[in-house]
Amino acid sequence: MMDVQNVTKNYGQTVVVNNVSLPIEKGKMTACIGPNGAGKSTLLEMVSRLIPQDTGHIYLDGKEVKSWKKGEFAKRLSVLKQTNQMTVRLTVRELVSFGRFPYTKGRLNSKCHEIIDSSLSYLGLSELQNRYIDTLSGGQLQRAMIAMVLCQDTDYILLDEPLNNLDMSFGVQMMQTLRSLVDELGKTVITVVHDINFAASYADNIVAMKEGQLFASGPVDKMITKSVLDDLYDMDVEIIENKGKKYCLYYIN
Amino acid sequence: MKTRQLNGVFVTLFASIIVFLFLYMTVNTRGHLSFAFSLRGQRIVPFFLVGFTTTVSTIVFQTMTQNVILTPSIIGLDALYILLQTVVFFVFGMNHVLATNQQLNFLLSLLLMMGGSIGMFWLFFLKYPGKLYLLLMTGLILGTFFNSFSQFLQVIIDPNEFDSLFSRTIASFNRVDITLVNTSLLLALPALIYLFKESRRLDVLHLGREYALNLGIDIDFYYFKLFMLISLLTAVTTALVGPVSFLGFLGANIAYKVFNTYRHSILFLGGSLISIVFILIGQLLVEHVFKLQTTLGVIIQFVGGLYFLVILFKERNG
């Protein structure tokens, strides 16, 4: 269980995240949506301790994030960022192996190799494991990064726009993978998503942010409604249902 | 690289070090072998020490900045050293105790360089954590300022004093004071051993600041610690033999090419051995081809500069 309480972040005079409080359910997939500049990524960075919050508290399993030992925290929560520029030449397997660092500080044992193997095969990378990452396509690299995070074997996995640079089919694959992390492995996944239909189709809960504030949050059914989305994006959004799933149409406004 | 290939490269490097060391000790002894041995043997420890300090500090620095064409000289320590020497010669003259007493000069240089870098990093890591490039920019600007100021003083200094000052500002093993070697070892060895032990943690820094944080490294404090160690190694090397930043650049970049790995343990050892080979060849050239008419610093700047250009052109072509 993660709990965010009255968290605020300023950059100079600008308030980027303003007094946000919300609980995040364990064992579920939570999607964070909202317009550009709403503070979604900043909130994610604070929750994953990449940047400190100015005021407020964030709790992970009842203990404040700041007071966790850095090495221990890395065994509980992992984060995947938007940009993945690596200047170094690594093979896929070497990259994925870094996920074991919190446990063995770089000295891989047989258990590590088992976990690396299973992470690679879970993301369908076994064939590619000896390829250098600079020869991969955007989708393959994204999967390799997820495999690294999976290898870190944390209860909580945070992702900042994992669908960036992915085409439709890879986008669907990625969301299916994240879904199976929740359903099969019992992970808690928190992800920032721009495509609202992906959020509606795959997530359990949705957190909507607007202008640095929490706009609304709740289960998908309650959140994907015309009244919420119209106000959130200041657009006229049409909701249709097809085979029991809700989809948003907003392309012609 | 496979283990067998790797061992092959290391064996080749060790063998070339032994060959060049043998040549260095025995060429042109004119029958006075024991005299040559005792004279030349004094320089062996500095050769190895400088090979390790420059290369290890450069590799750590390049990993931290994620940039393979930077050297620690960008933070301006060499420039500060040259400024100190110039000011001493300018204000007190070449016969003052600060200029003639090697130990005193060594300690003063070391204190100034360490003091300067501690002050600067402390300020930066407190006020602007994570702003690595801002720190480098500030270092670059200060270094340029120190260099310009040194040049200004050197232009108006007495020509005789300039002559003796000039030899101080160019790297050379010929002037190494043997009494300083033990102090240098005492300071540099613990730092080197620590960095070798940290090589696996350093590997993680290749992934960048955010992933290092994600994998549980207290990155800001760690960067501060690494910067202090790099300053210490650079300061010791510069105070001992003068500015040799290109040497570390050569060793590090050739090691990246030869070993084609991200692993610091291999790069540290391999790069340092490569640098030592360069020092030995360079010193052989200086003593027996150029008959001490030039210094190792000039040769290293020449070769290093050429290699730097090659890398720049390659990067430009993609």
Q: Is A74 on the interface with B (CB under 8 A)?
A: yes
Give the nearest chain B residue to A107 (CA atoms).
Answer: B200
**Residue B295 belongs to a domain with what CATH number?**
1.10.3470.10
- Inter-chain contact A98–B204, Cβ cutoff 8 Å? yes
In a domain? residue B298: yes
Q: Is the pLDDT of residue A29 over 70?
A: yes
Q: Is the pLDDT of residue A25 over 90?
A: no
Residues of B in contact with A90 (CB under 8 A): 206, 262
**Cα gap A21→A5, rounded to integer Å:** 4
User: Do B296 and A128 touch, CB atoms closer than 8 A?
Assistant: no
What distance in Å separates residue A32's CA from the closest CA in chain B?
20
Q: Residue B305 contacts by C-beta under 8 Å, 6 or more apart in sequence?
A: B246
Residues of A in contact with B214 (CB under 8 A): 48, 50, 74, 78-79, 152
User: Do B132 and B120 touch, CB atoms closer than 8 A?
Assistant: no
If DSSP codes are grouped into helix, strand and coil, which group holds residue A23? strand
Tally of structural domains, chain B: 1
In a domain? residue B81: yes
pLDDT of residue B1: 65
Q: Is A66 on the interface with B (CB under 8 A)?
A: no
In a domain? residue B66: yes
- Inter-chain contact A90–B206, Cβ cutoff 8 Å? yes
Q: What is the per-residue DSSP string for A125-154? A: -GGGTTSBGGGS-HHHHHHHHHHHHHHT--
Q: Residue A99 contacts by C-beta under 8 Å, 6 or more apart in sequence?
A: A78, A116, A119, A147, A148, A149, A150, A151, A152, A153, B215
* pTM of the predicted model as reported, rounded to 2 decimal places: 0.88
Summarize pLDDT for B210-265 with one digit per residue, the tens. 888 889 898 888 988 998 899 899 988 988 888 888 899 999 999 998 998 889 99
Q: Return the DSSP state at B85.
A: H
Instruction: Return the closest-CA partner of residue A84 out of A26, A31, A6, A159.
Output: A159
Q: Which residues of chain B have pLDDT under 70?
A: 1, 318
Average pLDDT of chain A?
A: 86
pLDDT of residue B176: 78
- Inter-chain contact B200–A94, Cβ cutoff 8 Å? no
To probe the interface with B, which of A45, A51, A60, A98 has the most B CB atoms within 10 Å?
A: A98
In a domain? residue B35: no
**Cα gap B310→B306, rounded to integer Å:** 6
Instruction: Return the closest-CA partner of residue B164 out of B78, B227, B67, B88.
Output: B88
Q: Structural domain of residue B246, as residue ranges?
A: 3-30+40-317
To probe the interface with B, which of A11, A45, A50, A80 has the most B CB atoms within 10 Å?
A: A50
pLDDT of residue B318: 57
User: Do A149 and A78 touch, CB atoms closer than 8 A?
Assistant: yes
Summarize pLDDT for A182-211 with one digit per residue, the tens. 998 889 999 999 888 888 889 899 998 888
Q: How many CB atoms lie within 10 A of CB B170?
A: 19
B73: enclosing H helix or E strand: none
Q: Is the pLDDT of residue A73 over 80?
A: yes
pLDDT of residue B189: 95
Nearest by CB: B262 against A72, A78, A89? A89
What distance in Å separates residue B70's CA from the closest CA in chain A?
14
**Cα gap A203→A201, rounded to integer Å:** 6
In a domain? residue B133: yes
Q: Is the pLDDT of residue A133 over 90?
A: no
Q: Is the pLDDT of residue A64 over 90?
A: no
CA quadruple A4, A5, A11, A14: dihedral positive or negative? positive
Nearest by CB: A90 against B210, B213, B262? B262
pLDDT of residue B271: 95
pLDDT of residue B233: 92
User: Do B274 and B55 touch, CB atoms closer than 8 A?
Assistant: yes
Predicted ipTM of the assembly: 0.84
The whole-number average pLDDT for the span A157-183 is: 87
Burial class, A78, CB count within 10 angstroms (exposed 0-12 / middle 13-18 / buried 19+): buried
